[in-house]
Amino acid sequence: KNEVEQSPQNLTAQEGEFITINCSYSVGISALHWLQQHPGGGIVSLFMLSSGKKKHGRLIATINIQEKHSSLHITASHPRDSAVYICAAETSGSRLTFGEGTQLTVNP
Amino acid sequence: DAGVTQSPTHLIKTRGQHVTLRCSPISGHKSVSWYQQVLGQGPQFIFQYYEKEERGRGNFPDRFSARQFPNYSSELNVNALLLGDSALYLCASSSTGQETQYFGPGTRLLVL
C-alpha cells in the first residue's frame, strides 16, 4: 500500500462542473502539498497546508489531520484546468512523498 | 527573476553510460531536491541538499549521487545507466527546505 493514495486516477468532466480530487496518506506529515503538472512535465505548486482550508481563485484545498485526508476542489472547471494533479505528503526532513497523480480532462 | 532551471532538457544515453544533470535554484534559495518521475507515476524523492550538505536520501542505489556547489547549484550523477533509469528528473528549490518547493521544468532522460 502506497503511503500517499489519490482518487480517482482519471477524471473527465464537462466545462463548468465542480471537481473533487481526494488524497489519503498513512504517514505523519508536517504539511500536505497539492501540485499541478502539465504535459511536458512542468510542476507548479498549488497549495501547501497543514490544517484547515486554503482558497486560491477557483481552487480550494482542505485537510483533515485526524482522518489523514485532503481534498482539492475546482469550481467552475475550464478546459485549461486539464492537467495531472498530484498530492504530496511532506515528512521529516522536508521530504516529499508523492501520490500517483490524478489525470483531469475538462471538455468544452 | 528566473525560476529553477535545469539542463539539458532532453538527453539520450545507452546502457552502461554515465550522465550528469544540472540544476540552478531560484536566486537566494539554498536547498535543492532531486526527484525521479517514471512515466505514468508520481515523482520519487532521490536527494535533498541544503547549504552543500546532503540532508536526505531516498531509496535509490549508489549509482545515483549528487552534490551542491557554493553557489547552491546542484548536479545529479547517475553511473552505469539502466533502461529503468529512463524518466523525467525534476529539481526543486526552496529557501531553507522547510517550505514550498519550486520545481524546474525537468530533464527527460531516455536510456536505450
Instruction: Please list the residues that pair with A33 across neighbouring strands.
Output: A48, A88
pLDDT given for residue B40 in this prediction: 85
Mean pLDDT of the residues in chain A: 92
pLDDT given for residue B62 in this prediction: 96
pLDDT given for residue A41 in this prediction: 75
Out of A41, A48, A86, the one facing B106 most closely (by C-beta) is A41
Q: Give chain B positions within 8 Å (CB) of A88.
A: 42-43
Q: Compute chain A's Rg from CA coordinates.
A: 13
Any A CB within 8 A of B59 CB: no
DSSP 8-state symbol, B25: P
Confidence band of A1 (pLDDT split at 50, 70, 90) = low
Residue count (chain B): 112
| Residues B53-70: tens digit of each pLDDT | 998 899 999 999 999 999
Out of B41, B58, B108, the one facing A41 most closely (by C-beta) is B108
pLDDT given for residue A91 in this prediction: 82
Cβ B56–A44 below 8 Å, yes or no?
A: no
pLDDT given for residue A30 in this prediction: 86
Any A CB within 8 A of B109 CB: no
Any A CB within 8 A of B60 CB: no
Any A CB within 8 A of B44 CB: yes
The average pLDDT across A74-90 equals: 95
Q: Could you tell me the sign of the dihedral formed by the alpha carbons of A73, A79, A80, A82, in that order?
A: positive
Cell of A64: 483533515
Best of B9, B21, B37, B109 to disrupt the A interface (most A CBs within 10 Å) is B37
Cβ B103–A98 below 8 Å, yes or no?
A: no
Chain centroid to CA A58: 14
CB B34 within 8 A of CB B109: no
